[in-house]
Every structure is written in structure tokens, then in C-alpha cells.
Amino acid sequence: MSTNTVDNTRKVTTMRLAEMKQRGEKIAMLTAYDFSLATLVDQAGIDVILVGDSASNVMIGNPTTLPITLDQMIYHARCVTNAVRRALVVCDMPFGSYQGNSKEALSSAIRIMKESGAEAVKIEGGCEVVESIERILSAGIPVMGHLGLTPQSINKFGTYAVRARGEAEAQKLLADAHRLEEAGCFALVLEKIPAALATQVAAEVSIPVIGIGAGSGVDGQVLVLQDMLGINQGFSPKFLRRYADLATTIRGAIGSYIDDVKNVDFPSPEEQY
Ligand code: KIV
């Protein structure tokens, strides 16, 4: 459990996140995709749980985030909302559910809110998706933006390398951040961009900016749960800090169970009826 002194029982809302930014309190966000781990993440006192489309990689084993469907995202978000009491739950809108057609974007967002119980949606992209964002917001659905490395566009970028190192891309990102704030997004994720640029965005916009691989000058941080717990060992970017080595722990526990079964050490007389 966290040792900070903030109120760890009051429900987190988009309004509370805005207040946190105003008083300089950092926002802690993690992903979760299932009931059991979302229960623990919420009990530990996290502020925001993102049901990320990284579920495509982490839960389904796809090589990218592109194949995950709206139905699958709703399923994972429902598993999470069934567990969560305090954190704000944000659900990613998957690839193909909002680009190009704002009416379709709105009906996808409405399905997420009605069927999963999530409290907000996240959308990748800048001015090119503003029409969709505005239509979703007009239905009273809070939207979190996502700029920088946007994994749904991997086929356009061709690489997961750091984004916006050059002046032109940095200027577009700044303009997009302002446009998303103006449209009414309640927060922004900045993924894998230079720390100085992320710090500038967080200073220029009034909404909370949550970074992943974007340095410490932003208003909060997000990591993928399985990465920071050391369950997923095949992913080691510079920005990732591992807080546990659960892969070793889990393999060890399962190895002990296999040994006990093979040696008839399990079940013991006390573990039988
Ligand atoms: O899908 C995801 O997990 C994300 C985070 C990396 C921000 O979008």
C-alpha cells in the first residue's frame, strides 16, 4: 500500500485529476485487463486504471495493438470495472473504432460506457481525430488524448522509436496538445517523446499530462502492469522500471507444485477430506 498521505478512499474522478494537477500532486496510472489484478491495483491505491489496447499484446499475444476488437476491449474493461472501487477506469478505443467517422466513434464510445462500465475513453491521435473526440464529448463521455508514439499507427511509423525528436514533429505535437485541450479532453498521455518537450506540454496545457517514456516533468506516469511487475520479460525499453520479478516467482511456485505432485507431497493428509 502506498505511504503517501492523500485520501486513499475517495473515488477518483476526472475533476479530482484536474485538482491534483493544480496542487502539483502527481498522478499514478497503471494498466489492468482482468478482475484479479485490477482488484490488487485498486486496493494498492492507484489513481487511474487504463484498460489499454496493449491487452492485444499482453493478454492475447498479438504482435501489435491493431487486431484487438471493440468487443474484446469491452470484455476486458468489464472485468476491470467489476473489481475497481476507487480508481478512475479509462478504456482505450481500439484501432478502427473511431478513425475517419465521428458517428461510428460515438457509437463505439457509447458501447464502451454502457457495456463495460468504464468512466472515460482514450483515443490516439491529434487534430485528425478531433471531430470524433468532439462528438464523443458532446455525449458527456470524458476523453483522454494520446500523442507521441501512438502504437495503432505502427504501420505508418514503421518503428517504436522515440517520436518528435525533430522540430517539425515537436511543433505538431505541441499544436495537437493545445487542440485536444481546447476540444475538451480531460487529460493527455504522452508516449515516448523527449522529456524536455513533454515538460513543455505539461507546462503549457491546463489538463493533466501523463507520461510513459516522457520524463519526470509531466503530471503523472503510466506503465503497463505486466511490464512493471516483471511478468512480461520480453520488453525492456529504457523507460521501464521493474518493481518485481514475478516471472521468476511464478515459475518457481509452479515448479514447486509440479515437484510436489510428482513426489506425492501434495496433497498432505491435512489437505484431504
Ligand atoms: O495501451 C496502453 O497500454 C497504453 C499505454 C501504454 C499508455 O496506451
Phi-psi map region of 142: left, alpha, beta (phi>0 left; psi -120 to 50 alpha): beta
Atom of ligand 1 nearest to the CA of 122: 8
Structure confidence by residue, pLDDT tens digits, 12-52: 999 999 999 999 999 999 999 999 999 999 999 999 999 99
- Whole-number Å distance, alpha carbon 191 to ligand 1 midpoint, is 8
Span 148-152, average pLDDT: 97
What integer pLDDT is reported at residue 4 of this predicted model?
53
58 and 188 fall within a common domain: yes
Mean residue pLDDT across the chain: 96
252 and 217 fall within a common domain: no
Question: How far apart, in whole angstroms, are the C-alpha atoms of residue 9 and residue 19?
Answer: 16
- Whole-number Å distance, alpha carbon 52 to ligand 1 midpoint, is 5
Structure confidence by residue, pLDDT tens digits, 84-138: 999 999 999 999 999 979 999 999 999 999 999 999 999 999 999 999 999 999 9
- Whether residue 151 is contained in a domain is answered as yes
User: Into how many domains does the chain fold?
Assistant: 2
Please report, for the domain that includes residue 146, its CATH number: 3.20.20.60
Structure confidence by residue, pLDDT tens digits, 205-233: 999 999 999 999 999 999 999 999 999 98
Q: Which residues line ligand 1 (CB under 6 A)?
A: 31, 50, 52-54, 92, 189, 191, 212, 222, 224
57 and 119 fall within a common domain: yes
- Whether residue 2 is contained in a domain is answered as no
Structure confidence by residue, pLDDT tens digits, 188-198: 999 999 999 99
- Whole-number Å distance, alpha carbon 2 to ligand 1 midpoint, is 23
204 and 76 fall within a common domain: yes
29 and 120 fall within a common domain: yes
pTM above 0.85, yes or no: yes
Domain containing 158 equals 14-242
Q: What is the DSSP letter of 230?
A: T
Q: Report the amino acid identity of residue 202.
A: A
Between residues 21 and 234, which one has the greater pLDDT? 21
What integer pLDDT is reported at residue 257 of this predicted model?
98
What integer pLDDT is reported at residue 234 of this predicted model?
85
Question: How far apart, in whole angstroms, are the C-alpha atoms of residue 96 and residue 98?
Answer: 6
162 and 262 fall within a common domain: no
In the three-class reduction of DSSP (H, G, I as helix; E, B as strand; rest coil), residue 19 is classed as helix
Atom of ligand 1 nearest to the CA of 31: 3
The pLDDT-based confidence of 3 (bands split at 50, 70, 90) is low
147 and 203 fall within a common domain: yes
For a pocket test of ligand 1, which of 41, 189, 227 has the largest count of ligand atoms closer than 8 A to its C-beta?
189
- Whether residue 3 is contained in a domain is answered as no
Percent of the chain with pLDDT over 70: 97
- Whether residue 5 is contained in a domain is answered as no
Atom of ligand 1 nearest to the CA of 124: 8
Name residues whose C-beta falls within 8 Å of residue 28's C-beta, 6 or more positions apart in sequence. 2, 45, 46, 47, 48, 220, 221
Structure confidence by residue, pLDDT tens digits, 160-188: 999 999 999 999 999 999 999 999 999 99
What integer pLDDT is reported at residue 100 of this predicted model?
79
What integer pLDDT is reported at residue 5 of this predicted model?
47
187 and 255 fall within a common domain: no
166 and 62 fall within a common domain: yes
The verdict on whether 167 is a catalytic residue reads: no
Exposure class string for 108-136: b at 16+ Cβ within 10 A, else e: bbeebbeebbbbbbbbbbbeebbbbbbbb
150 and 256 fall within a common domain: no
- Whether residue 6 is contained in a domain is answered as no
- Whether residue 9 is contained in a domain is answered as no
Element (H, E) at 273: none
- Whether residue 224 is contained in a domain is answered as yes
164 and 266 fall within a common domain: no
Tell me which of 119, 124, 181, 191 is the catalytic residue: 191
- Whether residue 53 is contained in a domain is answered as yes
101 and 230 fall within a common domain: yes
Helices (H), the chain: 14-22, 35-43, 55-58, 70-81, 102-116, 130-138, 154-157, 167-183, 195-204, 225-228, 246-262
| pLDDT higher than threshold 70 for residue 2 | no
